[in-house]
Each structure stands twice: as structure tokens, then as C-alpha cells.
């Protein structure tokens, strides 16, 4: 709910009537990528969203950044080296010569090879990691509507997703924050992110999704995590036709309890818009305001918040939703009458920001919702307090020194004496510079015996790398300089070391998937 000035009114969580420092990542080329004729995933929706933001005047209230493309070694913090190498080299012209790899990495019909595939992955992953870096350095909210591709796995593509930018962003946030909360309101289960952090108590994943005969077929209420991660995965299985009131009757009490017991240092909210009424692939009945109420509620906790895109296949409604939610992030209420802009014809005949939900049946009975809420609150009650976590090896903090405007040469793009890591696109990454992927899966737990081995472990820390933050697009924001960190341990025990399995080998049998509805 908004007051007359456009700021959110106070909620039960905390006072929310203050402005936030919000940054926004956007690459003007992102709308040019094309999955292929008839494919429901259309990156053009990101360009449509940006046009709405511009014509509603929201960009002047945002710090706008062009993301620096994620590099191969950045992607390998989670993904297998050979999978990333495949994405980098495969093209529509050469894919027929790589049939075995296409099957191995689940690239084909749902996840096709298209022109610029690897650049697309670098762009959307770079925006999410860049947003995490900004949150680690003082921003309140970071937005990357091109991100949120939550199905991608360590060694395979899935559900239109190739690189899991969310996992990479969470790993960046874990450099500063002991605990990170991931919340997913896409209609599909956030399986890739849950799987990545299924055995750790440092990341809690909460997914609200359609469950049943529906892609990806995972996300049962009984799936709660494993080992140290038990009860740190929360799945909210829903049926067709859920409306705003029913959705919020679960979202607010569950998330309120999660915030109370888990106490995250940062939150990642995946705002998949396929949970909206009338989506091409979805079967929920949320209005844009109902969907955005999740953003408003998460904003009210005053915890660093990363907003990401995700699904959404009726693209005019995707653009409407993410534009409105950008306004919510800023604390600005937008006029329902849409301003004239280059994609105005997409929004006829009403040319309004909001659309009415349908009269479809809500198959989520009050009894069903009560049972789900009761069961999940009971699971949360087993988390008596936030886990006390210490890093075994804390990566160096990424720093952003302030530029001296009096000494800045506006005509010089890069200082030749700077130690900023700038990749030469003509030179391939050397194998020795790759870092092991930071998957929570495929790890070996090794007991350390004796002080000598512990000292040797400390002496063999990984080398530092450089993660560049997004390149500034607005003139008033100085260019930033960053140093990045190597991979880190997720486990907090003093006598247990979690090591990466660098072999990155796939099982002989492919992972089974379920067809999309």
C-alpha cells in the first residue's frame, strides 16, 4: 500500500517509508538475442521493460549500469569447466558435429543453440553478479531483469536456462554475508538453486510454485534439505488458479517467519512473471499488484535485496510487471495510464499498466493452504536460531575506491597504469587461471589430522582473481575498480574441509527432465 507521496506505508515488518539506493543493470544488446521461431522465451521482453522504465521516468531515479560480461572463470565458480567450454564454442553451424555433447549437456529443443548464446549467458550472469557486488558495497537494492534463470545445473542446461546466474550471485553475496536467503515466485520450482545449496545452512531457499504434472517435477513439500542443510529448503507446492489473497496468505507468514529465524544478511528474490494471470505457459491467477506485493514485503525488511527476472512468456505482461516492481523498489507509485513509447502497440487495446486477473477456478482450497502453512511453519520451528557460521577462508572484499572528479580525464576510458583486470578478447583464458567450480554438489569431505596439515592447508590458498563490477552508463557515477576473490569454503566446521571435485564428471545416465506444460 502506498501513501500519497508514493512511498510504501509501514508494514508489520518495519517502517518502509524511506527511499532506497537502487541500482539497475541493463545491456542494450540483450533484446537482440533470439532463441528461435516459436520458442516462448523472448529476451525482447527485457528491452520492452527498459522502454517502459525510461518513459515512466524511473531511470533518472536509478543508478544505471551496463554489466561487464561474466568471464569463463567467473562462470566456473559453479559450473563445470567442460560445460562452460562447450557453451563458449558451440554455434548453430557446428552443433551437428557435437551431437554427443548436445545430449550430455541437455542442449537442444528447450535450450537451443542460437547465435550469440555464450554472449547472452555472459551478459545476464554479469548483471546478477554485478548486482551482488553493488549490494556488498552499500546499495540497498540491485535489479537485473535479464537474470533469474533458475533451472540451470552445474553440468547441464534446463528449462530455457544455460548458466545459473542466481547461484553465482549468491556465491558473491556469501563473501560478505554469513547467510543469504533465496525466494522464488516463478511458477516453476527453483530447482537449480535449491540443488546447489541443498546441503548447506548458509543459504536458505524458498520456492512458491505449481506442483504436480508440471516442469520440472520437483519441489515437494517434503523436500527440506539434507545434512547441515536440513530444513533450509522450503517448498510451497500450489495448484492451478491461485489468486492474490490466497498467495499472500502463505507468502507473508512464511517469509516473516523465515526472516525471524534465519536472519539473512542479504535476500535474492527471483520475480518470474509466469505466475501472473494469463501467462502463455502458466496457470496461476495473480495480478501484477499481487505479484509485486512480494517485492514490497521483501523491501520492507530493509535487508540488501537483489531483484531478478526469470520466467514470463506473455511478454507485454512481463514488461508491465517488472516496470511496476521497479517502481515498488524505488517507492514510487506509477500511473496506470501508459505513456507513449516505441512498443506502445503491444499494450492495446487498453494501454494500461495493470491487467485484471481472470475468473479461472482457484483449486487451492482454504484447507489445503492451511495445511501447507502449518506444515512449513512447523519445519521452520525446528530452526531454533540462525546458524553461527565462520569462514574457514574469507575471500578478499571487492573494493570500489571513489574517483576524484577533479583529476578524472573524461576522454580516457581506462588508465594504462591501473591494475584493473581487463580481459583481452583475443587471448583465451589459460587453464592455470581457472578456478574450480564452487558447486555445493560433487564435494569431498576430508578430515584434517594434525596441526601440520592445517598449516599446509592455509599455505595453499587459491590465488585471487578479479571480478569487475558493471560499467557505469550514467555520467554522474564514477567508474569503479574491483578485485575479486577465489573460491571459498561453505562449511563452517573447524575440523572439516569442503573441497571441490575438480573432475566435474557427469554420470553415465542423463538426468531425467519433465516436459513443460
String of DSSP letters for 91-140:
-TTTGGGGHHHHHHTT-SSSS---TTHHHHHHHHHHHHHHHHHHHHTT-S
pLDDT given at position 481: 33
pLDDT at 370 over 70: yes
pLDDT given at position 395: 57
pLDDT at 22 over 60: yes
pLDDT given at position 384: 64
pLDDT given at position 389: 53
pLDDT at 504 over 70: no
Q: Picking from 4-13, 46-55, 85-94, 368-377, which range would have the lowest pLDDT averaged per residue?
A: 4-13
pLDDT at 116 over 50: yes
pLDDT at 202 over 50: yes
Annotated binding site for substrate: 110, 159, 313
For 236-294, the pLDDT digits (tens) are: 999 999 999 999 999 999 999 999 999 999 999 999 999 999 999 999 999 999 999 99
pLDDT given at position 468: 37
Alpha helices in 306-386 (DSSP H): 315-330, 366-381
Quickly state the pLDDT bin for 385 (edges 50, 70, 90). Answer: low
Percent of the chain with pLDDT over 70: 71
Q: Picking from 100-114, 258-272, 429-443, which range would have the lowest pLDDT averaged per residue?
A: 429-443
pLDDT given at position 415: 36
pLDDT at 308 over 90: yes
Distance CA 456, CA 15 (A): 49
For Cα atoms 108, 114, 115, give the angle at the middle one, nearest 5 degrees. 160
pLDDT at 312 over 60: yes
pLDDT given at position 19: 79
pLDDT given at position 386: 63
Q: What is the chain's mean pLDDT, rounded?
A: 80
Of residues 199 and 433, the one with the higher pLDDT is 199
Annotated binding site for a divalent metal cation: 186, 188, 274
Distance CA 355, CA 375 (A): 34
From 151, 177, 209, 291, the catalytic residue: 151
Q: Which residue from 203, 222, 189, 267 is spatially nearest to 376, judged by alpha carbons?
A: 222
Quickly state the pLDDT bin for 474 (edges 50, 70, 90). Answer: very low
For Cα atoms 441, 443, 447, give the angle at the middle one, nearest 5 degrees. 145
Enter the C-alpha cell of residue 144: 537485473
Asked about 189 being catalytic, the answer comes back as no
pLDDT at 437 over 90: no
Q: Average pLDDT in the 145-160 region?
A: 98
For 162-196, the pLDDT digits (tens) are: 999 999 999 999 999 999 999 999 999 999 999 99
pLDDT given at position 226: 97
Beta strands in 391-502 (DSSP E): 443-447, 471-472, 496-500
Annotated binding site: 110, 159, 186, 188, 274, 313
Amino acid at each position: 500500500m502506498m501513501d500519497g507521496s508514493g512511498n510504501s506505508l509501514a508494514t508489520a515488518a518495519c517502517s518502509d517509508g524511506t527511499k532506497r539506493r537502487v541500482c539497475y543493470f541493463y545491456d542494450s544488446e540483450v533484446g537482440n538475442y533470439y532463441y528461435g521461431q516459436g520458442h516462448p522465451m523472448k529476451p525482447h521482453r527485457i528491452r520492452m521493460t527498459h522502454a517502459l522504465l525510461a518513459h515512466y521516468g524511473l531511470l533518472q531515479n536509478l543508478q544505471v549500469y551496463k554489466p561487464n560480461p561474466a568471464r569463463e572463470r567467473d562462470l566456473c565458480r559453479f559450473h563445470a569447466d567442460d560445460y562452460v567450454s562447450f557453451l563458449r564454442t558451440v554455434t548453430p553451424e557446428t552443433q551437428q558435429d557435437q551431437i554427443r555433447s548436445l545430449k550430455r549437456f541437455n542442449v537442444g529443443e528447450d535450450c537451443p543453440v542460437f547465435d550469440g548464446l555464450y554472449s547472452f549467458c555472459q551478459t545476464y550472469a554479469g548483471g546478477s553478479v554485478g548486482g551482488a557486488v553493488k549490494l556488498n558495497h552499500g546499495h540497498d537494492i540491485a535489479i537485473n531483469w535479464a537474470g533469474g534463470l533458475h533451472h540451470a545445473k552445474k553440468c547441464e542446461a534446463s528449462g530455457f536456462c544455460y548458466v545459473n546466474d542466481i547461484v553465482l550471485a549468491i556465491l558473491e553475496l556469501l563473501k560478505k554475508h554469513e547467510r543469504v536467503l533465496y525466494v522464488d515466485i516463478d511458477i516453476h520450482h527453483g530447482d537449480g538453486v535449491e540443488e546447489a545449496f541443498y546441503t548447506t545452512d548458509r543459504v536458505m531457499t524458498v520456492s512458491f510454485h505449481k506442483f504436480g504434472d508440471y516442469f520440472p517435477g520437483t519441489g515437494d513439500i517434503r523436500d527440506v534439505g539434507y545434512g547441515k542443510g536440513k530444513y533450509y529448503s522450503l517448498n510451497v507446492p500450489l495448484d492451478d488458479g491461485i489468486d492474490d489473497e490466497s498467495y499472500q496468505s502463505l507468502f507473508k507468514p512464511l517469509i516473516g517467519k523465515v526472516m525471524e529465524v534465519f536472519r539473512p544478511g542479504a535476500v535474492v528474490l527471483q520475480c518470474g512473471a509466469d505466475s501472473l494471470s494469463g501467462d502463455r505457459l502458466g496457470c496461476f491467477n495473480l495480478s501484477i499488484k499481487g505479484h509485486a506485493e512480494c517485492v514490497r514485503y521483501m523491501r520492507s525488511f530493509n535487508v540488501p535485496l537483489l531483484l531478478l527476472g526469470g520466467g514470463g512468456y506473455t511478454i507485454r505482461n512481463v514488461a508491465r510487471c517488472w516496470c511496476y516492481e521497479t517502481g515498488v523498489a524505488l517507492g514510487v507509485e506509477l500511473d496506470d495510464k501508459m505513456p507513449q513509447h516505441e512498443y506502445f502497440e503491444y499494450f492495446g487495446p487498453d494501454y494500461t499498466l495493470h491487467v485484471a486477473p481472470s475468473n479461472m477456478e482457484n483449486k487451492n482450497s482454504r484447507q489445503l493452504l492451511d495445511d501447507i502453512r502449518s506444515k512449513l511453519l512447523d519445519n521452520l520451528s525446528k530452526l531454533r536460531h540462525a546458524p553461527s557460521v565462520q569462514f574457514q577462508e574469507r575471500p578478499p572484499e571487492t573494493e570500489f575506491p571513489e574517483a576524484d572528479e577533479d583529476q578524472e580525464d573524461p576522454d580516457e576510458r581506462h588508465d594504462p597504469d591501473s591494475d584493473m583486470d581487463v580481459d583481452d578478447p583475443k587471448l583465451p583464458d589459460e587453464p592455470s587461471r581457472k578456478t574450480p567450480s564452487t558447486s555445493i554438489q560433487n564435494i569431498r569431505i576430508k578430515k584434517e589430522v594434525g596441526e601440520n596439515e592445517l598449516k599446509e592447508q592455509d599455505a595453499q590458498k587459491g590465488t585471487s582473481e578479479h571480478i569487475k563490477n558493471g560499467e557505469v552508463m550514467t555520467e554522474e557515477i564514477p567508474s569503479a575498480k574491483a578485485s575479486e576473490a577465489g573460491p571459498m569454503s561453505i562449511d563452517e566446521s573447524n575440523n572439516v574441509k569442503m573441497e571441490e571435485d575438480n573432475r566435474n564428471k557427469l554420470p553415465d545416465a542423463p538426468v531425467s527432465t519433465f516436459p513443460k506444460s
